[in-house]
Amino acid sequence: MTISQIWKTTRFDLDLAERPLVMGIVNVTPDSFSDGGQHDDAIRAIDFCERLLDEGVDILDIGGESTRPGAPRLAVDEEWRRLEPVLRAAVNFGVPVSVDTCKTEVMRRALDLGVDIINDVQALRDEGASALLAAHGTAGICLMHMRGQPAGMQQLTDYGDVVAEVAVFLRERLDHLLSLGVAADRVTLDPGYGFAKTVEQNLELQRRQRELLALGRPLLIGWSRKSTLGAVTGKAVDERVAASVGAAVAAVSLGARVVRVHDVAATVDALKVWQAFGGLQA
Ligand code: HH2
């Protein structure tokens, strides 16, 4: 199947056919699972965005609420207090800016500031979120698969065929958006590695990731530093850079076109080599 490899976002049409893109993670949080507290004030977070730009990041993904297993939900105003100064600065940096949020009101405020992409681990299931994105008309969207809320999601891992169930979910969420008039080329899809899935289910999804390409939209994936990589390598969270880079390269070899990562410099280099070796092979 031929997939349109353009990802339309508010200010940028991203060409995912030319090479895979690197989305750099900026968590303005005290409690994210791998980098919590490292840039949880605005000045440090903005400095970190500038560092990622120097390292060759293609997209900045800025989040104010951790979604690690067990994480509590934040009030809108607290999430926005963290995000606002960082988003205001980031939209002047000349690269697409994505906001990682599940809340319609946070999305609305971020879109008003001019962010380019809404990245929602809940696939726009908060009330009014899909309608907001339909009314907006141009923002890019990433729809990710998960079950439940971060607080209880690791108890929700009872699947028959995990790949088939993730595909059905993403198909339904995509069709819902299309039925509201959202253009398909605004949307990327994400299987949600690490969200309401066991180690074996995450690995099964990755091995069979190509099956998700039948949904007809580019895949964005996030393996960076996740516990499944710890289970495979036996490494602690702060020792998973090589595992994460390996996962990113493997995922693009199996068809992903955007990789969401903490370790931008290492991933950019690895993907340059992958691309020089010929990129995606039949
Ligand atoms: N993973 C995390 C957060 N957002 N978004 C997408 N589209 N895909 C992912 O796999 C994904 C995501 C979790 O990682 P991180 O942001 O590092 O941690 P935390 O949620 O603890 O802030």
SS (H, E, C) 50-76: HHHHHCCCCEEEEECCCCCCCCCCCCH
Q: What are phi and psi of 48, to 5 degrees?
A: -65, -40
- Lowest-confidence pick of 120-134, 145-159, 192-206, 258-272: 145-159
Mind telling me the catalytic residues? 226, 260
**Any atom of ligand 1 within 6 Å of the Cβ of 101:** no
DSSP state of 255: T
Nearest to 22 by CA among 238, 183, 258: 258
pLDDT in tens, 6-36: 999 999 999 999 999 999 999 999 998 888 8
Nearest to 192 by CA among 137, 240, 146: 146
pLDDT in tens, 43-68: 999 999 999 999 999 999 999 999 98
Determine the distance separating the centroid of ligand 1 and the alpha carbon of 68, expressed in angstroms. Answer: 7
Determine the distance separating the centroid of ligand 1 and the alpha carbon of 222, expressed in angstroms. Answer: 7
Closest-lying ligand 1 atom to the alpha carbon of residue 192: 10
Share of the chain above pLDDT 70, in %: 99
Determine the distance separating the centroid of ligand 1 and the alpha carbon of 73, expressed in angstroms. Answer: 14
Mean pLDDT of 208-225: 97
Mean pLDDT of 168-176: 98
Confidence of residue 4 (pLDDT cuts 50, 70, 90): confident
Instruction: Quote the pLDDT of residue 39.
Output: 87
Closest-lying ligand 1 atom to the alpha carbon of residue 226: 14
What is the three-class DSSP state of 197? Answer: coil
**Any atom of ligand 1 within 6 Å of the Cβ of 25:** yes
Residue 282 has pLDDT above 80, yes or no: no
Closest-lying ligand 1 atom to the alpha carbon of residue 194: 10
Write b or e for each residue in 57-74: b if 16 or more Cβ atoms lie within 10 A of its Cβ, otherwise e: bbbbbbbbbbbbbebeeb
Determine the distance separating the centroid of ligand 1 and the alpha carbon of 110, expressed in angstroms. Answer: 18
- Rounded to a whole number of angstroms, the distance between the first and last alpha carbons of the chain is 12
Nearest to 1 by CA among 213, 229, 258: 213
Q: What are phi and psi of 234, to 5 degrees?
A: 75, 15
Q: How far apart are CA 45 and CA 41, in angstroms?
A: 6
Share of the chain above pLDDT 90, in %: 88
Residue 3 has pLDDT above 70, yes or no: no
Q: Domains in the chain and their CATH numbers?
A: 6-276 (3.20.20.20)
Residue 207 has pLDDT above 90, yes or no: yes
Closest Cα to atom 5, ligand 1: which residue? 121
For every residue of 107-122, DSSP letters joined together read: HHHHHHHT-SEEEETT
Which of 21, 22, 25 to mutate for ligand 1's pocket (most ligand atoms within 8 Å of CB)?
25
**Any atom of ligand 1 within 6 Å of the Cβ of 222:** yes
Confidence of residue 1 (pLDDT cuts 50, 70, 90): low
Determine the distance separating the centroid of ligand 1 and the alpha carbon of 136, expressed in angstroms. Answer: 24
pLDDT in tens, 67-125: 988 888 899 999 999 999 999 999 999 999 999 999 999 999 999 999 999 999 999 99
CB burial of residue 257 (10 Å; 0-12, 13-18, 19+): buried
Mean pLDDT of 157-161: 93
| Beta carbons within 8 Å of 201's beta carbon, 6+ residues apart | 157, 159, 162
Instruction: Quote the pLDDT of residue 253.
Output: 97
Mean pLDDT of the chain: 95
